[in-house]
Structure 1
């Protein structure tokens, strides 16, 4: 089938045509800027039957001007062609009918279905790849309902307790008072930490702050936003990066 007017598929899967290109093929004498608004008066609705496309183009004098086209759906293109009552209009309408028949053929329907299925599969694979490291770390955290020392959380990242405490201080999460770390007020009532008081041999007491599993996950989310991942995820990310690099260079 000879292509009289170029057609393409939009993101919604509809066949669309450039109204300007159709205007040219139909050899309409009226200027496009006057002709298209008159076509709309036949009951076509913007954002349903067509959309406006505005572009900047240079004139012969080198000035920039707005260039407006319209992407119209196939049913609108057929009807506009029929309205012209010219031989060119008949040709265009027969052409669009042939395009529609080909588009709705069993082969094309199957091809589009396979394409959609492939896109969905790739999207699912990407989502699973994103979630897998996080799920692994979440599972690790949720296995332990008990309180945990900051030293143990720091080990998840290959840090010392001093370094992790310093990071949390820099991020405005906690502050140090007389050697004990306390959460700032906005985090204090979230159940992220729990303090235990111990009796010292000299008769005094000392307090130590432990993190809950909710607090451990809060640290995980906070550090992840800063691009800091636990060792478990870091290995996964590095492996994925290596695979991506290899695939892109094959």
Structure 2
């Protein structure tokens, strides 16, 4: 994916420069007037955007640098949609792709793992007496913290991949078989490979329903079993213990 605009990542969200977005969209209205108008579409300062000093765009009359705004990705998407132009459509698709990658299970877990590592380091620096306890925080525990921080459900095949990455060798087919044998998934019948009532009561799975239109105009419904964040922690601990 080509980088249309520079974005900034932190552990919570994606942000970018409103001035750079204004330039990319080729807006003829001066930036200050344009952004003021955009901000009136229900956005809140310090939540959707915050004022910053642009160190690159200098004031031609001298003095302080020009004002810029750091805006959230959600705000940028709405602004791009409002423009109703080819440039707006192009950059909005770019933002949607960024968001999809940012919210993928792998990205969410990587951020959670990094946050966990920073927390451990801070505790060790704060009090040397906690070093021994912190050394007990094995990668498995960090991994479980990362998964529990995820609100994204994943496919069973993706769960098998995550378990392998953490040291336990298992493939998608073998994981399906294990879940059926251990009564997490239904073994046969019309609901084959769908969650058992026990699994649903534990909150380990959710079933995604999708309606598909066939070429002849008829429709059919497909059901996809996905593992919840709680289910990911549950099964990973099952295998790693």
Q: TM-score, normalised by structure 2?
A: 0.50
What stretches of structure 1 of length at least 5 have no aligned partner?
133-250
Where does the alignment leave 5 or more consecutive residues of structure 2 unmatched? 132-241
Query: What secondary structure, in the 3-state scheme, does the structure 1 residue paired with 2:127 have?
Result: helix
Pair 1:87 & 2:108 matched: no
Equivalent residue, structure 1, for 2:5: 5
The 1:18–1:55 alpha-carbon spacing in structure 2 relative to 1, beyond 3 Å, is closer
Correspondence list, 1:1-250, <5 A: 1-10=1-10, 13-55=12-54, 58-59=58-59, 63-129=62-128
User: CA distance change for structure 1 residues 131 and 122 in 2, over 3 Å: closer, same or farther?
Assistant: closer
Shift of 1:54: 2.4
Q: Helix, strand or coil for the counterpart of 2:8?
A: strand
Shift of 1:117: 0.5
Match of 2:156 in 1: none
Runs of 4+ displaced beyond 6 Å: none
Offset, 1:59? 4.7
Q: Secondary structure at the match of 1:79?
A: helix
> For the aligned residues, what is the CA RMSD?
2.0
- Shift of residue 13, structure 1, vs aligned partner: 1.7
- Give 3-state SS (helix, strand or coil) of 1:64's partner: coil
d(CA) in 2 for partners of 1:90 and 1:129?
54
Cα 1:22–1:65 shift into 2, 3 Å: same
Q: Which SS does the other structure have where 1:48 is aligned?
A: coil
- The structure-2 alpha-carbon separation of the partners of 1:68 and 1:58, relative to structure 1 and needing over 3 Å to count, comes to closer
CA contact (8 A) 2:58 2:66 kept: no
Residue 60 (structure 1) shift:
5.2
Deviation string, structure 1 residues 71-117 (Cα, Å, up to 9, x no partner): 00010000000000000000011000000000011110111011001
CA distance in 2, matches of 1:55, 1:5: 16
Equivalent residue number for residue 170 of structure 1: none
CA distance in 1, matches of 2:42, 2:104: 29
Measure, in 2, the Cα distance between the counterparts of 1:123 and 1:65: 37
Find the counterpart in structure 2 of residue 207 from structure 1.
none
Tell me the SS of whatever aligns to 1:120.
helix
Alignment TM-score, normalising by the size of structure 1:
0.49
